[in-house]
Every structure is written in C-alpha cells, then in structure tokens.
Structure 1
Amino acid sequence: MLSVVQDVLFPLMCYSDADQELWNSDPYEYVRVKFDIYEDLVSPVTAAQALLLSTVRKRKEMLEKTMIFLMQVLTSPNVDPRHKDGVMHMIGTMGAVLLKKKIYKDQMETMIAQYVFPEFQSPYGFMRARACWILQNFDEIKFKSDQNIVAAMNCIQNALLNDNDLPVKVEAAMALSAFLASQNKAEKIVEPNIQPLVQELLKVIKETENDDLTNVMCKIVTTYTEQLIPIAVDMCTQLAATFQQVVDSEDGAEEKAITAMGLLSTIETLINCMEENPEIMVQIEPITLQVVGLILGKNVMEFYEEALALIYSLTSTRITPDLWKCFEMMYQMFQNDGFDYFTEMMPALHNYITVDTEAFLSNEAHVRAVYEMCKSILTQDCGEDDECHAAKLLEVVVLQCQGRINQCLASIIQLVVERLLQEVKTTELRTMLLQVVIATLYTAPDQLIQVLESTMLPNTNTTLTSHFVKQWIHDTDCFLGLHDRKICVLGMCTLLQLGPDRINVLKECHTELLPAMILLFQGLKRAYAAKAAEEDDDDDDDDDDEDIEHEVLESDEDEIDDAGEEYLEKLEEKVNKTAAATPFNITTSIQDEEDDDDDDDALDDEMDETALESFTTPLDKDECEVDEYWVFKEVMQTLESNAPAWYQALTSTLNPDQQKAMQEIATLADQRRAAAQSKKIQQSGGYNFQQTSVPTSFNFGGSFGS
C-alpha cells in the first residue's frame, strides 16, 4: 500500500502543469475550480485525498510509514517546490488524524514553524497559497509558544493584504476565519489591522464572487462589531454593489445564486450587529432597501427568503416611512407570486404590527392587507403549517390592537370560525384557530358573542357558541407552552365572569371548567419553571464572562436586599391574616419554587413546545401586569361574593385533589403578586426609608464597668 501512496497518490496531490497554466491564464477560474464542490465530485485529487485518509486511518502502520516518506521528501536537498506542495497537501489532508496521535500532535507546532512559515516568503505563489491552506487544517493546534501564533497571524494578514496573487489572498482569508474561530488569542492580534483587512476582503469578494468568502466576512463582522462601526456604511455599499454585479452576471447561474445569497446573508449580519447604532442604521437602511427593492421589484423569487430576512432585521427596532413602502411591496409580492413565502414573511409582518403599532393602525390599508393575506392562507389549500402562522398573526393583531380594530373583529371571527368548521387534521391548527377566538373573547367578549350567537352550525339548531365552548374545553390539554396556556386561562376567566346567563352552554358543561383550568395551571407551572431554568442557564453563561469583582454586591445593595426580605415577610403575614376572606383555604409562603429531580424531563419537554410563541404579544412582555393567576383568583373571589349560586355550581363537584390544586393556585397567585410588587420596587430604585440625622456623640448612661 505504501507504493500506492508514493507512486499514485503523491503525484496526484502535487501542483500540476494544468494547475500552473490555469493559475497564470485565469486566476479567477483557478479559484472557482478549487472551491467548486461539483468539481470535487469528479476530481482525481479529491479521490486521492479520500483514499489517503482512509488508508492512514484503517491500515496498520500506514500513518507512520506515510509520514516517514513525506518527511524524507520535505528534508531532501533541493526539493522540487511542486513536491514540497504535495507533501504539505498530504500532511494537511491528514491533519485531523495527526492531531489525535500524541507522537505527531506534539510535533505539529514545530513542523509549522520550521517548514510552513518560511513558505510565506516563497517566490512561488502556489506555495504561499499552500502555506495558508495548511494552517487552515491545523487551526486547532494548542500553540505552546505565543511567538508562533503571532507569527502565524502575521503571515496570514500579510498574505491577505499584500500578496499579488488572488488565489493566495483567498486562502489567506479562509485561514484568517479558521484561526479566529479556533484560537482565542488570534482576535487581539488581528484587531489593529481589522479595517484594512475587511476592505481588502471586500475587494477579493467582488473580484472572485466566492461564496465561501462571504462566510468569512460574516465571522469577522460578528467578531469585530465595534471596530467596524467607522466603515460599516462603506461595507454595506460594497456588498450591495457586489450583489448587483452578481445578479446582473449571466454566467454560472446556480453558482452565482449561492454567492448572492451569501452576500445578502452578510448584509443581514451587518445590520444585526449595527442595530444599536442608530446613526449607522440610518445610512445602511436606504442601501439595503435598494437591494430589497431590486429583488421584490423584479420578482427574483430565488432571493425572496433573504430579502424578507433583511426586512425583518431592518424593522426590529424602528420602522421608517420607507420601510412602510416596503410593507406595501411585500403585500404586492404576496399577491403576485409570494404566496408560498408567507411563513418567511411572518417575522417581518409581526414587526410591522408590534414595533410601531400606531403607524400600523394609522392606515386602514395596513390592517386590511394583513387580514387579506391571512384570509388567502386560511381559505386556500396551502398546508396547515402556513395556516397556523396565519392564525397566529391574527391573534397577534387582536391582542396588540385591543379595542382599536373593532370594525375588523367580526370579519376575523367569521374567517377563523369558518375554517374551524372545515376539516382540521392537526391539533396544532385547531388549537391555534381556537386561540384566535379566545383572544377575541378576552379582548371583546360582546362582539364575539354577537357573532357566535347569530351563526348556526350547518344543518343544526345549535349556535356556534355551544360548539366553540365544548371544543375548547375538550382541547384544553392541547394548549402548550406559556402564551397559549395563559391566553386560555384568561379566556376561561372571561367565561366564568359571563356565566350561564350570557353563555347558555355553560349550564351543561360548568363542572368541566375548573378541572380544565387546573390542568392549564399545572402546565403553566411547568412552563414557568422551564423558562426560569433556561434563563438561569443563560445567566450562568454570562457570569462566566464577567470579572470576579462584579460578583460581590456593594454594601448598599445588601441593605436593599435585607429590606426586601423584611417587606416580603410582612406581606406574607398580611396575606395569611386575610386568607379567610378568600374563596380558598390559603396558607401562603414566599418561597423558591423547586421541582423534584423527577420533574426534570417534564421541564425539558416544556422548553420548545410551541414555535409560534416567538411571535410575542403584549401578554408575553416581562413588564406585562396581567397575571393569569391573580386574575383567576380575583374572578373566583368576585363570584363567591356576587354570584354565590354560580360559584357553588362551579366548585361543588371538585374532588379533594382538585380542591388542593385550587388552594395551590391561590397560594401561587399571592406569591407571584408579592414577587411582582417587590420587583417593581427594586426597579424604581429600592425601598425608601426616612432619613434622620446621625448624632455626633453618644451617652449610654454611664461609664464602662459601672
């Protein structure tokens, strides 16, 4: 097998006459061929690499024998540069295997310093390119000498900035990205030169239209956001110009499309990194909108997803008049040929509704456009995933624009109810449709009841109200996550308040209401615990990055915490004293909620139950004052006082376990109210105490020892 390595694989992996001819005649094509995955499929060099790897991994002693052969070639006097290229090509190909063997792993740094670094000064461009390439393959080496990693980074930077051969610059850029990802010390070494490096990389991207380089740029932008602020606008301008150039080109349409997508992704990364710099965003926005306008205006469907992602990024914090024009373009795109891209439009549409609700509502056409898009999705056969998104968007509109879209509510209710009455294959869609109706019940109960009561089920004498309530209660266990359960609880609280006098079907199913709500609250408890666990994990990650001195509180903060504890203790006493006035037997204690280890799996299950919860509503904000636990408790207290017969009908059939669950819900309501009040006080600057003057002398009634 060694003869195969020496006589077949080695010659194939050396720099060839064909390589030299292409390098000299068309370096752009040389770069394209070397980075083309389709060329790799038919390349004998790629096949040689694969066979070499398989051989040294599976054949006993072949790694050692191959390395002996390669080092003999490398150290021989007057070695042919092409043979030296072949040696480095083979060593780099075996990089992952070599780094797993201690005997070689410990020698790699020395090998790089002795044999690779000098090649950056080689008169042969292909050897300078190979030096960059081999560093990519050993980017995870644990350098023992800081001098060597500095030397490696300086070689890479110099190759990108100053080399005259385009293929060398491309390989240098790839090596730069690899070292930034793998070597912690690389970031600081490169930082002083990052602006000229980026400017040079932009030129190389424009010249080569290489999609791998756009990934390099994304890595650099996320790593050096602050340092790139001064040139961010120029970067966006050049990326947009290169995108225009790529789109206008007629050669290699499929390859160009991949490059264009990479450019759009890089612009998106730049926007996301600069969003906290409004003075930069003001300049980046019109440049980006020209790109978006080109895509949407010319109906370039292959870039719709990227264009919609750009709109989402631009609308995440503010929405300018030009971006509202973009909203109109999105609507036109949807009507023309963008029907299949509704789920990709959803994040941007959510921003338009929630980031600037006033502007959204200022033009009736905005609301109508969202309704028409959702109607198209819900009335045509486009798949239940799209329909779930459409229903979610309608729910967002109902909750975000509460009390301000009454003229549209009847149409929204009718649309959703009609879809509910048709075949629904998945519980996800059915619960999402129910959720829109529940949101309407919560925000505008009179309008909902009017529509439902005036509509009969087909071929029956039953109103839609009865069908809706029964289906809702039946599907209680299908509502998952935090938001879905919360709106479900709030909706059922509205049902309790309306009572059987307004909702006649409650006379039939009133005994099912509280058990259904108990089930929801049990799910909410798990969901909140899962959220807290996730936030704790995030906090732990953040703490790892902080200096240790930040972990110790100042003395003033300790005093505030002591006062807070005293406040909570007094609040607990007060709640316990007034417990008799509540409809439940309450024993309140302010405590940390801890679940047994047996519940860990349940918490994990709660983490990602509903992807659509990422499209938030006012009920999901941290500062939201609507607490479903407290709302439920207040409703039950009010019913006990003002509607005792209805209260008795609801509670009389509860079994002991359900009664205990009700008590726990009430206790948790008190805990949550106390915690919310404490948090509000802390956010306002802590607890205020009356300031008194401190005496300058003290008399304790006699001298010491008297």
Structure 2
Amino acid sequence: MDLPSLTLVLQAALSSNPAERKAAEQSLNQFQYTPQHLVRLLQIIVDNNRDIAVRQFASIHFKNFIAKNWAPHDPNEQQKISPSDKDVVRDNILVYVAEVPPLLRVQLGECLKTIINADYPEHWLRLLDWVKHNLQDQLVYGALFVLRILARKYEFKSEEERTPVQHIVEETFPHLLNIFNKLVQIDKPSVELEIPKQLLDPNVFNAWMMLFLNVLERPVPQEGQPLDPELRKSWGWWKVKKWTVHILNRLFTRFGDLKLRNPENRAFAQMFQKNYAGKVLECHLNLLGVVRVGGYLPDRPQLDVLLFEIVFPLMCFNDNDQKLWEEDPHEYVRKGYDIIEDLYSPRTAAMDFVSELVRKRGKENLQKFIQFIVEIFKRYDSAPVEYKPYRQKDGALLAVGALCDKLKQTEPYKSELEHMLMQHVFPEFQSPVGHLRAKAAWVAGQYAHINFSDQNNFRQALHSIVSGLRDAELPVRVDSVFALRSFVEACREIFKLMNEVENEDLVFTLETIVDKFGEEMAPYALGLCQNLAAAFWRCMNTAEADDEADDPGALAAVGCLRAISTILESVSRLPHLFVQVETTLLPIMRRMLTTDGQEVFEEVLEIVSYMTFFSPTISLDMWSLWPLMIEALADWAIDFFPNILVPLDNYISRGTAHFLNCKEPDYQQSLWNMISSIMTDKNLEDNDIEPAPKLIEVLFQNCGGQVDHWVEPYLRITLDRLRRTEKSREHDKKVCCLGLTSLLALPGEQLDGEALGRVFRATLDLLVAYKDQVAEAAKEEEAEDDDGMDGFESDDDDDDDADGSDKEMGVDAEEGDEADSIRLQKLAAQAKAFHENDDDDDDDYSDDDFSDDEELQSPIDEVDPFVFFVDTVKVLQASDPMRFQNLTQTLDFHYQALANGVAQHAEQRRAEMGKEKMEKASAATVAS
C-alpha cells in the first residue's frame, strides 16, 4: 500500500460511519505485514502538513504494531518486520522524537522503549554515539529523552546485567553536568541498585552533590509559579527539586546507611554520613517547612508539626483520589497495588515515615500519634452524617493498618485491638462512602490474625468481607479479595491448632468460614480438603486408641467430614474442583464405607453423594465404592438404606453407560441381588425397604429399552411385595397410571380388544383415585398450615410432612441449579428422620410417615398423568379409529362419565402447567 492510499485508509478509520471504520481497520490488518508499511506509518506521523488526528491514529497503530511484533516473545516465531525496515525506523525515530508534538511524542517514546529494550546494545551500537553527539551539539532535548529511556532499561536489572551502564555513564555524564536541569530524571535509575564506579571517585561525587544541594537550597521564584497545586507539580522548578530528592533519598537509604551497607562500600557510607547526611536532612526539613506555612521552624516541636500537619494529611483521601475513583476505578486499583507507583507515592512515603518513626522513636511518639487517631475517631462518631470527616477517617484507618505490626506487639494497644475493630472499623463496611468501605476491608485483612476473644466478632468480619466481594464499587471488591487472602491464612492457623488439639469447636469454626465464603473458597478448596483429611485421620487414630465412647477425637473426626461436605456444597457450581479433591477423599470413603466407619457412615455417604452428583463424570475409582455400599447394606447398614439410595441413584442416572456395559463387576446383577434380597425379606417392614422400589424406578426410567430382560423378575418381586401392602402413596399411583396408560399404545396384536378395555377401565379408576388422594393431601396440608402444631406430632414428623408436600403431583418444587444443591442439603436431615422413626414403636408406623421423596429426581417428575392419558388416547383414536370406536362402545355410562371428567381435568392441568412454565421463564429472565 503506497503512502497516499495508506493516508486515505487512516482517514477512513476515523470516520463516524461504522461501516467505513470497519473496512479501514480490516484493510490495515490486511496490509500491516507488507514491506515498508512501518516506514510509511512513521513518515505520516512526522509530516507536519498532515491532519493531526490522522497522525495521532497512525502513531497509535505504529506503537501497537511495534509492541506486538518488534521482538516476539517466542524466539522461534518468524520475524514479521524486515531488518531493512527496522534499520530505517531506528535511524529516523531518534531524529523526530524531539520534533513531533507532545501528543505524538508519548507514542513514539513507548516505541523507543520497546526498541531499546529489545535491541540495545546488541543490535543498536550507534545509539549511545547518537546521544553523546547530540548532547555536545546542544540538541539536548531529544538526547535527554532517549537517554532517560536508555537509563531506565537498567534501573532494576541485576549487577551482572548492568555492565552497559558503566559505559553509558562514562560517555555521557561529563556532558550532563552542563545540563543539570534535565539530568535528575535520568540519574536516579542509574543509581537505583548500584552506584557506577565512575561516581565513587570523591571529586566526581562531590561535584554532583554540590549541584544536588544547590538545587534544593535555591529558593523557588514566585514569578511564573502556577497557582494551581496540580499544575505546580509539573512546573520545572519543583520537578527538578522532586527528582533531586528522589536521588538523594536513594543514595542514603541504599548506600549511605552504615547499618545496611555491605563491607566493600563501607568507606563510601562513612564518607556520605560525614560530609553530606546532615546537609541533606537540613535541606529536606527546610523544604517541608516551606510546604506547611512558607517558612521553617527550627524549634523542638518541629517533629509534631511535621507528623500532624504535613505527613498525616498526605495519608488522607484527597480530591485526586476521588476523581480517579469516579472516572477510572480500574486505574485507581492499579495505582493502589503497583509497586512502581509506590516508589513515587507521597502517601506510601508518609506511611513509611510513620512506621519508621514509631519503630525508632516509639516511646515518645507512638502514644501521641495514637491519641491523635483516637481524636479523629471521636470527632467522626459525634458528627452528623453530612459533616463527618470521611477523608480524615480514611487517613486514620490507613495509619492503623500501617502500624498493625507495632500495635499487635505493644500493650496496652494489643489488648484493645478487637474493641477498636468492632467500634471503628467494622461499622464502615456499611458506610455510604465507597472509599471507607474499601479501607475497612483492607484494615480487616491486616488484623485477621489477632486472637478474637469473641468468635462472633471474627464471623462478623468474615460476613463483611464476603459482602464486600459483591460491592457495587470495583475498588471495594478488590480490597475485599485481598482481605480474603488474610482470612484464608487465618484458616492455616486453625489447621496448626488442629494438629495439636483434636477439638470439635475448631472444626466448627473452619466449617463456618467455608460456609460464609461459599464459592469464594474455590481457590482454596483443594488445600482445605487436604488439611481436613489429614486432621480426620489424626482424629480417627486418637479415637481408636481411646475406647471411651465420648472421646473428643471421634467428635472432631465427624466435624472434619461435615466441614468437607460444606466445602463440596460451597463449590458445587465448579465441577472441575471435584476432580482435584477426589484423590484426597477416596481413601477416607473406601475405608469408612466398611465396618470401620459405622460411626461416620452417614457423613461419608453424604460426601459420596456430592462426589457422584457434581463431578463432571463418575471415575472408575468412584465406581469402586459401589461394591462396598452394597456389601455394607447386605451385612449391617440396612438402617442407612435411605442414605445409600442417593449415591446409587447418581451412579445409575449419571453413569448409565458404565452401569449397563461393565461386567467385572456386573452392576446390574449386583443391584438385582441386593433388591431381591431386601424385597423378599419377610422380617423387614415396608418402611425399611422403601428405597428398594425407588431404585427399581431409577433403573427403568434411566435405562429404558436396555434392561427389558429385567422387567419380569423385578415385576414379580414387586407384585409379591405389593400383596402385603395396604396403601399406595401418591407417587406409586402416578407410576401405575403412567405404566397402564403406556399399555394403551400397544398395537392390537399385542393387546387385544378385551384386554384393552380392561386396561382402559383400570386406568380410569386409578386416575380418579390418584386425583382424590392429591386433593385430600392438599386439604390436609392446608389444615396443618391453618392449625399449626396440633400436639400429636413430633417436631421431626412436622419436618417430614413439610418435606413431603412439595412433590405431591410429581412436579419439582425447586427449579434451576438450586434444586441440585437443595436435593443434597436435605439428605442428612431426611436420613436422620428415618433413624428416629426406627426407634419408635411399630404401631406408630403408617404410610403417612413417608411422603414422596424430594431428594430424588426422575424423568417422570414433569409428566402429568392426566395429560399423558388424554394424549395417548388421542394418538390411539388417530392411528386406529376402528379400534378406538370398539373401545368406546364397550364402556358403560359410568366409565364414559369418568373418561369425560378425566379429559376436562387434563385440559385444566395443561393450562396450569403452561402458566407455571411462563412464570418460571419470566422469573429466570429477571434473575439473569
């Protein structure tokens, strides 16, 4: 693409017409790798006769292209810029970087940074000669601009990588002495990590120090000084003072402190302390005095003035912070957590000053500074909402957080920290001011490790942090995330205690933490499960060594398993995590599903239920637990049949293919042996074997058409058992209705006319009975809601009735993802109810004690038997009209009336189901 064409494309990229912009961008992407493309872009950028908007767009495209393609991260990647184009760019960008407007210089500067970092010195040997030449020819701006980028390349490099700095200093610094006003921005990175040897010469160093001190001591002229403090920061006089202070501060903290220096530079440190340290400190104090009131106070109280009137205001939230918070919260967050920004931040310097002051001179300064902070807290608490000093409170909280290490070790402050957090920090989680909510989260994280005398206070902090993760303001959410890390580290302290003491309360505290954090615990789920598993084995070993029934180790072991279940529940929406924790939990599940685990069998089954339900797939290792559960059920665990039902259902419904195809072991035969043994056991009551027919139902509903050879044997044992059953439940009636209705669809050669009539009439009778039973159950539930507790049922019975009423018509009460979690959450409570009923007298049992199970879901839950019956009859009428006519002629008036009533009820149910479906869809839309 030639130069005029490229110019037109760049102009089109600025068009207000989206189609033109898109076409231009596609054209740029298409031709960007052609030879000379980069060179032509540079020609457009430096051409003063072209539109500045086009030049700016070209400069941005130029910068992005160089950043991406000049030095590919993969050394094996093919170079997309030709060597000749690179040579042209390197030679010309140096010439024009000082001549283009500042708007374009920023972009070219970024390009220079990329090129220098990639090419100097290996591929750009002439760069330093160009800088030296331009310094001598007084073309200083471009030279200084390039030299600063060159110097910053080595600012944080190791000593081995800083060898080129020696040559740079030797060649350029003599010339820089003549242009000191720009030098200070370049000198600092040159001494960031090490002083070049040339500057260690006392005569050379003294010349530089005299210049530095002269800059600091020289008064700033009032003429031309901007009135706006923000503009004043970028004014030349103050900028040169700022960079001089940076350099002197670095020289002292890194090379001039005798306590910190390595032996080879000790002579330099002694020379600096003797000749320059006092003068530098005097200049600094004079500068701060000018900042405060325009003059310097040499008397003793100067430290208080410095601390309370200069340093503390720097720690407070200010107008610039507010503007950045509102206009660019992402940049606010970046600056707050950028280590490079901290190097130049007045706020960070103020925090470091306060920390160092109380460390070195804490005896005379800590108490008065804390009293100063307390007074701010008091003024804040007593002021009306509209007059509260929010920004000063922010600075006070920052100070409290910065001094956390000192305060956690020093009495009387150490013993008052919890009270301070409760009174002055935690309330700010509810502040209407966003930056105070963020600061409260940060301070809470700083003090997460203190010993809370009241665990409710610790839990309140947890709850507040979790709430902050969902705050509307981005900086609050980010500070909450960092605080979360501190609280998870506090969990590790709990693990350390658990290593020393098997205490159920410790496990309960950890369980509370996991429950509060929910999905936010996902990054730590594996580590938590590993620690809990290790704690479980220690507790079990302790319990086995102690024969006492109420051994605390056994209680703590149960608590460990409960906490693991809580973790699995909290990350149930993240299936990949279950794969990670499986290896850790398998040894526990394998051993505790034997007689060794009778005391924790219920808790282990709950873990198995989670693992088989939420994992992406059921692994072969998890399938190895099936025989253990079947063996336990046959041997001693019949009381846990309701608990075992859920994982067995998961195996069949979620691992159907493996269940059907595996022959070693043969899961179909294993299931038959177990169910037939239980169903034919005359010593077991109906309520003992209730999960067995449910498993038969799970088998046929999930494996339809693939287990036909099992239909006859399962029907036989079911019918044998039904002969001893007094009353069927609603769900059983529904299954029978659907089964009989399905027979109506059989062709004439499989179901003759006489049999068809009998099945039709039986289905009508059963549908009417089912409708009456559903209505009666609804009426009883309404009466219970009106009357409340009638005194004849226990609390547990009430719970059972409430649980059972949700699915009377076979339709789930819970929808969406929540149903999966609720299903397993109710498992433990419902299984407990079975155990409690087992302890009652036999005369107390009735079918009413057990209602349709909410913890099991099946493909027929959404099928209405009345609608299904009517639809099946319509299909029969359409496919074989003669057969349908013969059927209707065999019906007497009674069954004709029943058929009409069922048809009317079916249409009513169809309308109700349609309305429910629309309401659920609407609710889902609102929720999303």
1:176 to 449, 455, 458: 458
Q: Match for 1:332: what amino acid? A: E
2:650 to 330, 345, 351: 351
1:371 to 654, 672, 676: 672
1:573-588 matches, cutoff 5 A: none
Quote the Cα distance in structure 1 between the aligned partners of 2:637 and 2:817: 37
1:3-152 matches, cutoff 5 A: 123=411
Instruction: Report the equivalent of 1:479.
Output: 730
Residue 333 (str. 1) matches residue 632 (str. 2):
yes
Residue 232 (str. 1) matches residue 232 (str. 2):
no
Percent identity of equivalent pairs: 19
Q: Match for 1:195: what amino acid? A: R
- In the TM superposition, residue 238 of structure 1 has moved relative to its aligned partner by 0.9
CA shift in 2, pair 1:249/1:160, >3 Å? farther
- In the TM superposition, residue 293 of structure 1 has moved relative to its aligned partner by 2.0
- In the TM superposition, residue 486 of structure 1 has moved relative to its aligned partner by 5.8
Q: Match for 1:418: what amino acid? A: D
C-alpha contact 2:592 2:598 (8 A) present in aligned 1: yes
Residue 406 (str. 1) matches residue 708 (str. 2):
yes
Quote the Cα distance in structure 1 between the aligned partners of 2:464 and 2:900: 58
C-alpha contact 2:605 2:643 (8 A) present in aligned 1: yes
Residue 646 (str. 1) matches residue 887 (str. 2):
yes
Residue 285 (str. 1) matches residue 526 (str. 2):
no
- In the TM superposition, residue 485 of structure 1 has moved relative to its aligned partner by 2.2
CA shift in 2, pair 1:629/1:155, >3 Å? farther
Aligned CA-pair RMSD: 5.1
Instruction: Report the equivalent of 1:200.
Output: 490
C-alpha contact 2:810 2:861 (8 A) present in aligned 1: no
Secondary structure of the 1:209 match is coil
Instruction: Report the equivalent of 1:617.
Output: 858
Quote the Cα distance in structure 2 between the aligned partners of 1:416 and 1:642: 32
Quote the Cα distance in structure 2 between the aligned partners of 1:130 and 1:142: 16
Quote the Cα distance in structure 2 between the aligned partners of 1:140 and 1:623: 53
Quote the Cα distance in structure 1 between the aligned partners of 2:715 and 2:438: 66
Quote the Cα distance in structure 2 between the aligned partners of 1:651 and 1:192: 77
C-alpha contact 2:734 2:770 (8 A) present in aligned 1: yes
1:530-679 matches, cutoff 5 A: 610-612=851-853, 614-620=855-861, 627=868, 629-638=870-879, 640-650=881-891, 652-654=893-895, 659-663=900-904, 665=906
C-alpha contact 1:243 1:264 (8 A) present in aligned 2: yes
2:538 to 238, 245, 258: 245
CA shift in 2, pair 1:384/1:151, >3 Å? farther
- In the TM superposition, residue 660 of structure 1 has moved relative to its aligned partner by 4.9
- In the TM superposition, residue 359 of structure 1 has moved relative to its aligned partner by 0.3
CA shift in 2, pair 1:310/1:538, >3 Å? closer
- In the TM superposition, residue 279 of structure 1 has moved relative to its aligned partner by 4.1
- In the TM superposition, residue 301 of structure 1 has moved relative to its aligned partner by 0.5
- In the TM superposition, residue 387 of structure 1 has moved relative to its aligned partner by 1.3
Quote the Cα distance in structure 1 between the aligned partners of 2:812 and 2:711: 38
- In the TM superposition, residue 374 of structure 1 has moved relative to its aligned partner by 2.0
- In the TM superposition, residue 294 of structure 1 has moved relative to its aligned partner by 3.0
C-alpha contact 2:612 2:650 (8 A) present in aligned 1: yes
Structure possessing the higher relative contact order (Cα contacts under 8 Å, 6 or more residues apart): 1
C-alpha contact 1:157 1:176 (8 A) present in aligned 2: no
1:517 to 741, 756, 767: 767
C-alpha contact 2:613 2:654 (8 A) present in aligned 1: yes
CA shift in 2, pair 1:628/1:348, >3 Å? farther
- In the TM superposition, residue 194 of structure 1 has moved relative to its aligned partner by 1.9
Q: What residue ranges of structure 2 are gaps of 5+ in the alignment?
A: 1-396, 470-476, 779-805, 819-848, 922-928
1:273 to 548, 564, 570: 570
Quote the Cα distance in structure 2 between the aligned partners of 1:296 and 1:621: 34
1:395 to 682, 688, 697: 697
Residue 488 (str. 1) matches residue 737 (str. 2):
yes
Instruction: Report the equivalent of 2:152.
Output: none
CA shift in 2, pair 1:353/1:671, >3 Å? same
Instruction: Report the equivalent of 1:57.
Output: none
- In the TM superposition, residue 382 of structure 1 has moved relative to its aligned partner by 3.7
Q: What residue ranges of structure 1 are gaps of 5+ in the alignment?
A: 1-112, 432-477, 540-607, 681-706
Instruction: Report the equivalent of 2:511.
Output: 218
Quote the Cα distance in structure 1 between the aligned partners of 2:643 and 2:707: 25
Quote the Cα distance in structure 2 between the aligned partners of 1:629 and 1:126: 77
* 1:43-63 residue CA offsets vs partner (Å, 9 max, x unmatched): xxxxxxxxxxxxxxxxxxxxx
Quote the Cα distance in structure 1 between the aligned partners of 2:420 and 2:877: 72
What number of residue pairs does the alignment pair up?
436
Q: Match for 2:459: what amino acid? A: S
CA shift in 2, pair 1:139/1:490, >3 Å? farther
C-alpha contact 1:630 1:669 (8 A) present in aligned 2: no
CA shift in 2, pair 1:201/1:208, >3 Å? farther
Quote the Cα distance in structure 2 between the aligned partners of 1:676 and 1:194: 40
CA shift in 2, pair 1:668/1:297, >3 Å? closer
1:263 to 539, 548, 560: 560
CA shift in 2, pair 1:160/1:257, >3 Å? farther
* 1:473-509 residue CA offsets vs partner (Å, 9 max, x unmatched): xxxxx524xx852652342341575889659677678
Q: Match for 1:192: what amino acid? A: F
- In the TM superposition, residue 241 of structure 1 has moved relative to its aligned partner by 0.6
CA shift in 2, pair 1:384/1:350, >3 Å? same
CA shift in 2, pair 1:301/1:529, >3 Å? closer
CA shift in 2, pair 1:386/1:190, >3 Å? farther
Quote the Cα distance in structure 2 between the aligned partners of 1:633 and 1:609: 36
C-alpha contact 1:295 1:307 (8 A) present in aligned 2: yes
C-alpha contact 1:485 1:524 (8 A) present in aligned 2: no
CA shift in 2, pair 1:130/1:150, >3 Å? same
* 1:16-54 residue CA offsets vs partner (Å, 9 max, x unmatched): xxxxxxxxxxxxxxxxxxxxxxxxxxxxxxxxxxxxxxx
Quote the Cα distance in structure 2 between the aligned partners of 1:332 and 1:132: 58
- In the TM superposition, residue 511 of structure 1 has moved relative to its aligned partner by 4.7
- In the TM superposition, residue 326 of structure 1 has moved relative to its aligned partner by 1.5
Q: Match for 2:510: what amino acid? A: M
* 1:642-677 residue CA offsets vs partner (Å, 9 max, x unmatched): 242222223643466862542453586699799999
Return the TM-score normalized by structure 1.
0.51
- In the TM superposition, residue 372 of structure 1 has moved relative to its aligned partner by 2.2
- In the TM superposition, residue 290 of structure 1 has moved relative to its aligned partner by 1.6
CA shift in 2, pair 1:337/1:514, >3 Å? closer
* 1:188-232 residue CA offsets vs partner (Å, 9 max, x unmatched): 565322234223324314244333343443343344355433332
C-alpha contact 1:271 1:284 (8 A) present in aligned 2: no
Q: Please say which of residues 511-520 and 321-330 is displaced more in the overlay.
A: 511-520
Q: Match for 2:722: what amino acid? A: L
- In the TM superposition, residue 178 of structure 1 has moved relative to its aligned partner by 4.0
Return the TM-score normalized by structure 2.
0.40
- In the TM superposition, residue 304 of structure 1 has moved relative to its aligned partner by 0.7
- In the TM superposition, residue 239 of structure 1 has moved relative to its aligned partner by 1.1
Q: Match for 1:372: what amino acid? A: N
Q: Match for 1:248: what amino acid? A: N
Instruction: Report the equivalent of 1:584.
Output: none
C-alpha contact 1:378 1:390 (8 A) present in aligned 2: yes
